[in-house]
Amino acid sequence: MLKKFLSGIAMLLVAIALKAQGSTEPCGDQMTDTRDNQSYKSVLIGNQCWMAENLNVGTMVPDFNQTNNDVIEKTCYNNDPGLCKIYGGLYTWDEAMRGVCPDGWRVPSNQEWTKLNEYLGIVGSGTQLKAGSDRDPAWDGDNSSGFSAIPSGVGHEKYFARQGHWAVYWTSTEAGDDYAWFAQLDNHWYLDRYTILYQGDHFLKKNGFSVRCLRNEP
Among residues of the chain, what percentage have pLDDT more than 70? 85
Q: How much is the pLDDT for 140?
A: 81
Report, as an integer, the average pLDDT of 4-31.
Answer: 54
Assess if residue 66 is contained within a domain.
yes
Assess if residue 97 is contained within a domain.
yes
Residue pair 119/45 in contact by the 8 Å Cβ criterion: yes
Neighbouring C-alpha atoms within 13 Å toward the C-beta of 169: 34
Report, as an integer, the average pLDDT of 154-179.
Answer: 96
Assess if residue 125 is contained within a domain.
yes
Assess if residue 73 is contained within a domain.
yes
Rounded mean pLDDT of the chain? Answer: 88
Q: How much is the pLDDT for 133?
A: 66
pLDDT in tens, 107-150: 999 999 999 999 999 999 999 999 986 666 778 899 999 999 99
- Beta strand pairing call for 166-174 and 179-186: antiparallel
* DSSP 8-state class, residue 189: T
**Considering its fold, how many domains does the chain have in total?**
1
User: Which of 49-53, 137-141, 147-151, 182-186 shows the lowest per-residue confidence on average (mean pLDDT)?
Assistant: 137-141
Q: How much is the pLDDT for 175?
A: 98
Assess if residue 150 is contained within a domain.
yes
> pTM of this prediction?
0.87
Q: How much is the pLDDT for 134?
A: 66
Query: DSSP alpha helices (H): ranges in the chain?
Result: 2-21, 81-87, 93-96, 110-119, 125-129
Cβ-based neighbours of 44, under 8 Å, separated by 6 or more? 27, 28, 50
- C-alpha to C-alpha distance for 15 and 207, rounded to whole angstroms: 39
Assess if residue 9 is contained within a domain.
no
pLDDT(36) > 80: yes
- C-alpha to C-alpha distance for 17 and 184, rounded to whole angstroms: 34
Residue pair 149/166 in contact by the 8 Å Cβ criterion: no
User: Which of 4-13, 96-105, 112-121, 174-183 shows the lowest per-residue confidence on average (mean pLDDT)?
Assistant: 4-13
Report, as an integer, the average pLDDT of 20-30.
Answer: 71
For residue 141, give its domain range. 30-215
Assess if residue 14 is contained within a domain.
no
Assess if residue 68 is contained within a domain.
yes
Query: Side chain identity at 110, as an amino acid letter?
Result: N
Q: How much is the pLDDT for 139?
A: 85
pLDDT(91) > 60: yes
Among residues of the chain, what percentage have pLDDT more than 90? 75
